Copies of this chain bind each other. A is one copy, B any other.
Amino acid sequence: MSAIIQSEMPETTPKELSEHTYRFDIGMSCSGCSGAVNRVLGKLSGIKSYDVNLGAEKALVTAEPNLDYDTVYEKIKKTGKTVYSGEADGVLTIYKERTPKPAAA
């Protein structure tokens, strides 16, 4: 909520962001892994909804406007899981390349 209200705001002005969409690519290999991420996100205040997909190894977070990306990212990092990439309202950051498993050493 902003204390300053523009008068005669044209209707074409983009709406104030009412929520954030954060996506993370996280190394998760079993339901214990995804359960841990679920529990951590479940305790974080400012999250509207979240979904952790073990098969895709992704987490999708819908957050209140005042919950910034870095707070969510740091919280997930504290699980000790590898975060390969994250996306904050469409802006992608790659932290670590996902390396394909060697075919035969």
Residues in A lying within 8 Å of B, measured CB to CB: 27-33, 35-40, 78-81
Contact = CB atoms under 8 A, between A and B. Distances in A.
28 contacts: A27-B32, A28-B32, A29-B30, A29-B31, A29-B32, A30-B30, A30-B32, A30-B33, A32-B32, A32-B33, A32-B81, A33-B33, A33-B36, A35-B80, A36-B36, A36-B79, A36-B80, A36-B81, A37-B80, A38-B80, A39-B80, A40-B78, A40-B79, A40-B80, A78-B78, A78-B79, A79-B79, A79-B80
A31 B40 CA distance: 19
Nearest to A41: B80
Copies of this subunit: 2
A11 to B, nearest CB: 45
Going nearest first, the 5 A-B pairs with the smallest beta carbon separation are: A36-B80, A30-B30, A29-B32, A39-B80, A40-B80
A14 B78 CA distance: 38
